[in-house]
Amino acid sequence: MISSHPSLASLEILGSGIASSDRISALLEGTQMFRDFEWAQISALSAYIQLYRATPNTVLFREGEKGDFMCVVLEGKLEIRKENHQGVTRTVTTALPGRSLGEMAMVDGEPRSATAVVIAPAMLAVLTHENFQLIMRDKPALASKILLKIAQLLSQRLRQTSGILVDFLET
């Protein structure tokens, strides 16, 4: 059902099969993205997810690239960087275990809005757009729950960003 992904070629793909599916389920269970999911839903989802390892300084994706996967940080640490109008790159946040990245790519298919760089050895659970399409076809209720969770996470992040912007404008 799943296969390695060309834009993730610089990462080490980890395991496959039933044992891997059970391992993925156990790892996803406590993440921000999937902690509200029932075990049966996480177990079904894990069949569409692949685990990858990444070393420090690996660029997971670049601002402006086509976005065709999202991931959840299971171990390690990533920096999310954005370039301003003067061409200066700044770190806007850090992604620690449990955090998801790249969700907007699953929703809108637009180019990446930021760059993600591994800064500590990481293990990532990756859901490609192609596999998400399979979930929509095979398990529409699960796909709906994933989309709702993505919408909730994006809404939370927008609220946080709006608060930061207001604080910045007031200074």
Question: What is the predicted pLDDT for the residue at 123?
Answer: 95
pLDDT over 60 at 17, yes or no: no
According to DSSP, the residues that pair with 125 across neighbouring strands are 51, 72
Question: What is the predicted pLDDT for the residue at 142?
Answer: 97
137 in a structural domain: no
Q: Predicted confidence band at 143 (pLDDT cuts at 50, 70, 90)?
A: very high
Q: Predicted confidence band at 18 (pLDDT cuts at 50, 70, 90)?
A: very low
88 in a structural domain: yes
139 in a structural domain: no
18 in a structural domain: yes
C-alpha to C-alpha distance for 102 and 83, rounded to whole angstroms: 17
Helix (H) or strand (E) holding 47: none
Q: Give the mean pLDDT of the chain.
A: 87
113 in a structural domain: yes
Place of tokens 């700044």: 90
66 in a structural domain: yes
C-alpha to C-alpha distance for 17 and 2, rounded to whole angstroms: 10
What residues make up the domain containing 37?
A: 9-128
Give the pLDDT mean for 7-24: 70
According to DSSP, the residues that pair with 95 across neighbouring strands are 78
Contact 102, 112 (CB under 8 A): yes
Question: What is the predicted pLDDT for the residue at 3?
Answer: 45
pLDDT in tens, 48-97: 999 999 999 999 999 999 999 999 999 999 999 999 889 899 999 999 99
Backbone torsions φ then ψ of 4, nearest 5 degrees: -65, 155
Total number of domains in the chain:
1
80 in a structural domain: yes
> What's 82's domain CATH number?
2.60.120.10
Give the pLDDT mean for 153-170: 73
pLDDT over 80 at 165, yes or no: no
Give the pLDDT mean for 114-143: 95
- Write the DSSP assignment of 133-155 as a string of letters: HHHHHH-HHHHHHHHHHHHHHHH
167 in a structural domain: no
pLDDT over 80 at 29, yes or no: yes
Residue-level length of the chain: 171
Contact 53, 71 (CB under 8 A): no
